[in-house]
Structure 1
Amino acid sequence: MNAPFPNPPAKGEKSALTLLIAAPRGFCAGVDRAIEIVERALERYGAPVYVRHEIVHNRYVVDSLKAKGAIFVEELDQVPDDVPVVFSAHGVPKSVPAEAEARKLTYVDATCPLVSKVHRQAERQIEAGRHILFIGHRGHPEVIGTFGQVDPGGMTLVETLEDVATLDFAPEQPLAFLTQTTLSVDDTAAIVDALKERFPHIVGPKAEDICYATSNRQAAVKSIAPGSDLVLVIGAPNSSNSLRLVEVAERCGTSAKLIQRASEIQEEWLAGVGTVGLTAGASAPEELVREVVDKLSEWRVVEEHTLTSAEEKMVFKLPRQLA
């Protein structure tokens, strides 16, 4: 942790603030793709275009798409007949496109390809006769969508190490595990180790399900947090990957706060603070990062430093009907 400045500035002068900006941060390839799908659907079909669930968990993004003609709803029965609908990046149960087809709705699936990969893995494990232990957060849209890929009873949710201890399966029961893509890398590794210890025959994915962007952003926070007095994470309170970034910073021994917009920052947070770390969850656009920098500059003389821990070049193709 950095000590407060020994020589306070003269009255009326701004004191210095070192700003460590994490890279990678912000939008991932799946979020870029999902937003572009809604924008292209609006161009192709005209407004309104309905979107089932928030396309990504970020109010700024959702509001900007609303302004262009997108209408967000929670369930398909809120979508009128004869209008196009987009499914969110988090994925949906199989029953949702089935219902859309039954109603002859035009729909575009914006599910992140890395989430779709987990869906396919779930189907294969069920076909192989295995029961799936799914590591994730109850109620998260990605978890709901993945459970909806298989028949009821085919999967069991595991949220914590304590859950592993309560699992009751016969030694000969064929088992597999899969994970939500936006989990804590460290927590998930501990749960997987516990599952393997209890059930040595359990089958896992060839490569981990936690997506590259989640892993990279957590690693980037680990690079800025130890040198920061405070870490600001731009993201929504219902964004799993953003919440994990706050946890990672705190585990590095640093105070961390989740904010949605720069307007939420309070000047008193900077009392005695010489260095601030800054990152953004995978659903937060770069405009919000610059907004935070501008806000901090109102109170302090900001010196920016970007710490890059990985380069990201991933790009996902658009659905055929919009490409």
Structure 2
Amino acid sequence: MSKPDLKIYLAAPRGFCAGVDRAIQIVELALEKYGPPVYVRHEIVHNRFVVEGLKAKGAVFVEELDEIPDTEQPVIFSAHGVPKKVPEAAESRNMFYLDATCPLVSKVHKEAQIHHKRGYDIVLIGHKGHPEVVGTMGQLPDGAVTLIETIEDARALQPKNPDNLAWITQTTLSVDDTSDIIGELKQRFPNITGPHKDDICYATTNRQDAVKAISPKVDAVIVVGAPNSSNSKRLREVAEREGCSKAFLLQRASDIDWTRFDGVEALGITAGASAPEVLVEEMIEAFQSRYSVTVEAVTTAEETIAFNLPRELRA
């Protein structure tokens, strides 16, 4: 029996960004140089496949430093960044630690510190409880940063001094939603100070732009990524906002509910910034087993950014 035709539009850029690539390299190189175990505080990136692969090589993942025994082995902080108290606690125990915080998250940390030194009240646009938000707020004393998540929060904000405000953002937000929130803040507080360059990172912006380009062409979109990955969840939302009512966030091909793809003739596929390309290939192969597939890449940007590794791991 002949297979139905399916056109797959493959978004590019997709998948690993420079910060994720660097973080994974840090764990792999630390394992090579120092041998297992290497301890990692929190998932190095939000992807179960990546984490399980590193576990198999000897990485031990913990949520807090007090889960780690006294050791001379490396302790690595995840790409999302950590509150200041974490490296301080590591130093108090004479731990050898490597910081895999994405440099673009570190940039937001520095901005927060500069605003604080200049006496500004700081507004952070982000998602409560996300490790990046916890890490950014943890750069400053309690109460120095006010978190807002929605445009309604921006409308309800009552700062102590409306003329003495600065805003920063999580790096993995929806570009459009964040723009609306910033617009509301600027309208209410015309003297509010923002970053010199947008905090939402290049990779988040590029991946959302690519999804915007494919969504009008397709009947369904699959975002390959983890349910706890902020940037992946935003990609699914962007696809929906661009008119694709069937937009799914899936970790693996085994998660596909085939009944949801009945009648689909054009499919968009992308991947969150912490999803490896092998999972995209797995997804395409799953559709090739049931459909006669043609694949067309839709490229909206070229990425050439790479970040330096910690000095201890450079060849």
TM-score bracket, shorter-length normalisation: over 0.9
Structure 2 partner of 1:229: 219
Counterparts of 2:60 and 2:180 in 1: how far apart (Å)? 40
Q: Is residue 2:41 matched to residue 1:52?
A: yes
Partner of 1:279: 270
- Contact 2:163 2:192 (8 Å CA) reproduced: no
Any conservation in 2 of the 1:147–1:155 contact (CA below 8 Å)? yes
Sequence identity of aligned pairs in percent? 60
Contact 2:23 2:44 in 1 (8 A): yes
Separation in 2, partners of 1:248, 1:133: 24
- Aligned-pair CA distance for 1:259: 0.1
Pick aligned residue for 1:80 from 48, 56, 69: 69
User: Aligned-pair distance for 1:172?
Assistant: 4.9
Whole-angstrom distance in 2 between the partners of 1:120 and 1:171: 22
Map 1:160-199 → 2, pairs under 5 A: 160-199=150-189
* 1:193-272 correspondence to structure 2 within 5 Å: 193-254=183-244, 255-272=246-263
Q: Quick one: which of 301, 304, 314 aligns to 2:292? A: 301
Structure 1 distance, partners of 2:161, 2:170, is: 25
Q: TM-score, normalised by structure 1?
A: 0.95
Contact 2:208/2:238 (8 A) holds in 1? yes
What is the CA distance between 1:171 and its match in structure 2?
A: 4.8
1:292 to 283, 290, 295: 283
* Deviation, structure 1 residue 145: 0.2
On the 8 A contact 1:26/1:282 being kept in 2, the answer is: yes
Match of 2:52 in 1: 63
Residue 79 of structure 2 corresponds to 89
CA distance in 2, matches of 1:173, 1:307: 44
Task: Classify the secondary structure of the residue corresponding to 2:76.
Answer: strand
Residue 143 in structure 1 maps to residue 130 in structure 2:
no
1:3-82 alignment, distance < 5 Å: 12-82=1-71
CA deviation profile, 1:59-118 (whole Å, cap 9, x unmatched): 000000000000000001011111321000000000000000010001000000000000
Aligned twin of 2:90: 100
Distance 2:297 2:116 in 1: 45
Query: How far apart are residue 267 of structure 1 and its match?
Result: 2.0
Is the Cα–Cα contact under 8 Å of residues 128 and 149 in structure 2 kept in the other structure? yes
* Distance (Å, rounded) in 1 between the aligned partners of 2:237 and 2:164: 34
Q: TM-score, normalised by structure 2?
A: 0.98
d(CA) in 1 for partners of 2:236, 2:312:
38
Comparing 133-142 and 79-88, the one that deviates more: 79-88
Residue matched to 1:112? 102
Aligned partner letter, 1:28: C
SS at match of 1:176: strand
- Alpha-carbon deviations, 1:12-61, whole Å to 9, x = none? 21011000000000000000000000001101111000100000000000
Cα 1:270–1:173, aligned 2, differ >3 Å: closer, same or farther?
Answer: same
Is there any run of 5+ residues in structure 1 with no aligned partner, and where? 1-11
TM superposition shift of 1:266: 2.1
2:153, 2:258 → 1: CA distance?
41
- Asked if the contact 1:183/1:241 (under 8 Å) is kept, the reply is yes
RMSD over aligned CA atoms reads: 0.8
* Mean Cα deviation higher: 229-238 or 79-88: 79-88
Task: Report deviation, 1:270.
Answer: 2.0
Equivalent pair of 1:171/1:199 in contact (CA under 8 Å): no
- Partners of 2:68 and 2:194 lie apart in 1 by 38
Counterpart contact for 2:211–2:270, Cα < 8 Å: yes
| 1:4 match | none
Q: Does structure 1 retain, via aligned residues, the 8 Å contact 2:223–2:235?
A: yes
Q: Which amino acid aligns with 1:313?
A: T
Alpha-carbon contact 2:163-2:189 (below 8 Å) kept: no
Partner SS for 1:178: strand
